[in-house]
Amino acid sequence: MFHRLKLHQVADLKFSSGTIMKIKRCYLLVWIFLTASTVYAQNPPAAISETTDPVVTVVESPEAELAKQQLAEIDNLIERIWTTKVSLSVSDVPLEEVMLQIAKQLGCELRIDDRSLEDLGLTREIPISIDVKNLAVGSVLELVLGQVDITYLVEPNRLVVLSVGESDDRKYFLTRFYPVDQWLGDGKCKLNLEKVRAIVLMIEAYTWEEMGGPGSCEIYGDGLLITQPATFHDRIRRLFSAMMKAKSLPNDSYQVASIPTHPLGEQADKLRRKIERQLISAKWRDVPLGEVAKLLEEQLDLKVIIDQRGLEDIRLDESTPVNGTWNEASVATLLNDMTRNLDLGWRIKGDYLEITSFEELEASLEVRVYPVRDLAPSVSLLEGADKLETYIGGTFCGVGVPNRPSVPRELELPTPKQRLIEMIEWQIVPDAWEELGGVGALLPCEASDTLVVSQVGWVNTTLESLLQDLRQTKRIAAEEAYRQQAAEVILMTYSIPATEDKPRFSSMDIGLLAQRLTRDIAPDAWGEGRSIQALSNRLIIRQRRDIQRAIYQHLVEIGYFKFDRTEAGLGGGGIDLAK
């Protein structure tokens, strides 16, 4: 059952991370997924008698029912936006008239936010020109509103046209709960929600609080509590759908094709294959780019759009001359040659082809999910050890993490997926990835046996080819190599932290810490040359690499490496090494 709550007043939500998120006075819909309408109380007070029933049966309020209905209307309208096809041919027609035609096709209401348009020096009378046939309404909205750099949002059975800046106001945002552990967990090991959260933050990274944007994503219970506009939630839902689809793939019929997250992703993939296979011959001398677009439309039976605003930024337009000769070349080859000569790029956006600038390509990345169970199987990680790779280099998604020292090189233990990622980032356009200053991101999801990639389209195409080549060669036993490295016994030495040349911990403290580590971390793995020595000035630990990683993570979490005694010392409410 889905429970949705409508909030109108300021509220404090406290999450498991200890942070408090302020929800401003605004129109918010909180979509809370529950598997049943019964909430079981835990640890009841001693004063409650044994005969007291600890079960609370929830009866939804009329407001909750209304909120549920409104969310259903929003989701239904978003679905219609991408499944309804329209043809539209207008020249210098007022924006309002064009939008009314689109709203009529969708069977919904329309609101134009005049005030936000006025801030841009625009009105609802601004002229619009467009000529398209049989495109999804979502594509038409992008083409119409993109002409004047404005956007749209979705409310219950209503489109709202407004400025991009106004669309960032949280009064237009929805807060929804995603039961990620229920979707991706295996019921045996606890799902690492931090890693799933990092994957979600790949989508339009600049829109999240971590990068100064208005959206938020917090871990709450066994899932994620996410605040973003309704259309953004649709993208998140499609990402999780792709990951769940990959997770459910059977081993005896493992489909390795990447899974798109765009609403028209499957149609776009078909068009891309058509462009890569269809042959063309052409000899052009100073042919205007606009005329080339029309010739390609006839050849492909596909709408070709020239992004005029994107070209204006680099001082090009539809009159820019195109030169070249092609004899029985693929259309993809022709497009690559032509756009490179003009310092441009091209992409398939759902159901049409767009020629635009590199800057525009990098501003709107394509998120795809790659099934890789056959190339890089998941491995079971010791609890605690699986957190370390997040903090390698002291960063998280490119953002510095305080009080997180870099992981010692001796403790590096890349999983098969991490090794695959490292190879990809060094072999496929290295400067296109965040690690070397690019815009693309690539993260593993052990739970679904996938790689999740946010990149420009042509890099994704190159990645597809590389993975195909790897599958045609004899697969290296990546899992066995990982297990051998994890089982290797190594020696780690940790000096006792000091403040003003005085040890922060006494010899007794360190002895208690050593006992605690052997008691709490892999207690059956000690002995036979694997031990901890607690000396007056250091800890000496001989143990398997994977257990060493769990120990190091534990030391980080208890504040062992902090240098401020008032924060992490034994006195003043600091850490308790003997706990």
Q: What is the CATH number of the domain that holds 354?
A: 3.55.50.30
What are φ and ψ of residue 226, in 5° steps? -120, 135
pLDDT at 471: 86
3-state helix, strand, coil in the chain (%, to 5): 40, 30, 30
pLDDT tens digit sequence for 165-185:
999 999 999 999 999 999 999
Give 301-304 contacts, CB < 8 A, sequence gap 24+. 302/271, 302/274, 302/352, 302/353, 303/132, 303/133, 303/135, 303/351, 303/352, 303/353, 304/352, 304/353, 304/354, 304/355
What's the maximum distance between 2 C-alpha atoms anywhere in the chain? 91
Residue 503 has pLDDT above 80, yes or no: no
In a domain, residue 415? The reply is yes
**270 and 370 together in one domain:** no
Nearest CA among 239, 230, 279, 134 for reference residue 454: 239
pLDDT at 154: 97
pLDDT at 100: 98
Mean pLDDT, residues 303-329 taken together: 94
- What sign does the CA torsion over 257, 263, 266, 272 have? negative
Beta partners for residue 110, in sequence order? 159
Residue 115 has pLDDT above 60, yes or no: yes
pLDDT at 567: 36
**282 and 371 together in one domain:** no
In a domain, residue 474? The reply is yes
**369 and 481 together in one domain:** yes
CB proximity list for 25: less than 8 A, separation 6 or greater: 8, 9, 10
Give the least confident one: 350-364, 443-457, 470-484. Answer: 470-484
The confidence band for 6, taking pLDDT boundaries of 50, 70 and 90, is very low
**470 and 494 together in one domain:** no
Q: CB of 178 within 8 A of CB of 197?
A: no
Residue 574 has pLDDT above 60, yes or no: no
Task: Count CB atoms within 10 A of the CB of residue 327.
Answer: 9
Last residue of a domain, one of 432, 463, 485: 485
First-to-final CA distance of the chain: 41
Last residue of a domain, one of 457, 485, 513: 485
**359 and 369 together in one domain:** no
**370 and 459 together in one domain:** yes
In a domain, residue 9? The reply is no
In a domain, residue 531? The reply is yes
Average pLDDT over the chain reads 83
The confidence band for 506, taking pLDDT boundaries of 50, 70 and 90, is confident
The confidence band for 377, taking pLDDT boundaries of 50, 70 and 90, is confident
pLDDT at 18: 40
Domain that holds residue 327: 264-363
pLDDT at 275: 95
**477 and 533 together in one domain:** no
In a domain, residue 106? The reply is yes
Cα–Cα distance for residue pair 395/532, rounded to 1 Å: 30
The confidence band for 54, taking pLDDT boundaries of 50, 70 and 90, is low
The confidence band for 426, taking pLDDT boundaries of 50, 70 and 90, is confident
Nearest CA among 88, 262, 62, 78 for reference residue 153: 78
Residue 220 has pLDDT above 90, yes or no: yes
**371 and 468 together in one domain:** yes
**148 and 160 together in one domain:** yes
**437 and 515 together in one domain:** no
For the residues of 57-90, what is the DSSP string, one character each?
A: E----HHHHHHHHHHHHHHHHHHHHHH-EEEEEE
Q: CB of 575 within 8 A of CB of 565?
A: no
In a domain, residue 69? The reply is yes
Of 48 and 79, which is predicted with more confidence? 79
Of 271 and 3, which is predicted with more confidence? 271
pLDDT tens digit sequence for 223-255:
999 999 999 999 999 999 999 999 999 998 999
Of 485 and 465, which is predicted with more confidence? 465
Q: CB of 87 within 8 A of CB of 144?
A: no
Q: CB of 195 within 8 A of CB of 180?
A: no
SS3 category, 383: coil
DSSP state, residue 280? E
Last residue of a domain, one of 450, 468, 485: 485
In a domain, residue 73? The reply is yes
Tokens 């090991």 sit on residue: 189
The confidence band for 32, taking pLDDT boundaries of 50, 70 and 90, is very low
pLDDT at 557: 84
Residue 370 has pLDDT above 50, yes or no: yes
As for how many domains the chain has, the answer is 4
pLDDT at 29: 43
**421 and 507 together in one domain:** no
User: How does strand 538-544 pair with strand 498-499?
Assistant: unpaired
pLDDT tens digit sequence for 513-545:
899 999 989 898 998 889 999 887 888 999 998
The confidence band for 382, taking pLDDT boundaries of 50, 70 and 90, is low
**CA dist list (Å): 147 to 12, 85, 132, 141, 143:** 40, 20, 14, 10, 7
Residue 219 has pLDDT above 60, yes or no: yes
Residue 465 has pLDDT above 60, yes or no: yes
Cα–Cα distance for residue pair 513/577, rounded to 1 Å: 5
The confidence band for 34, taking pLDDT boundaries of 50, 70 and 90, is very low
From its phi and psi, is residue 47 left (phi > 0), alpha (psi between -120 and 50) or beta? alpha
pLDDT at 387: 52
Give the least confident one: 23-27, 79-83, 217-221, 523-527. Answer: 23-27
CB-based burial label for 548 (10 Å; 0-12, 13-18, 19+): buried
Cα–Cα distance for residue pair 479/172, rounded to 1 Å: 46
**411 and 481 together in one domain:** yes
In a domain, residue 251? The reply is no
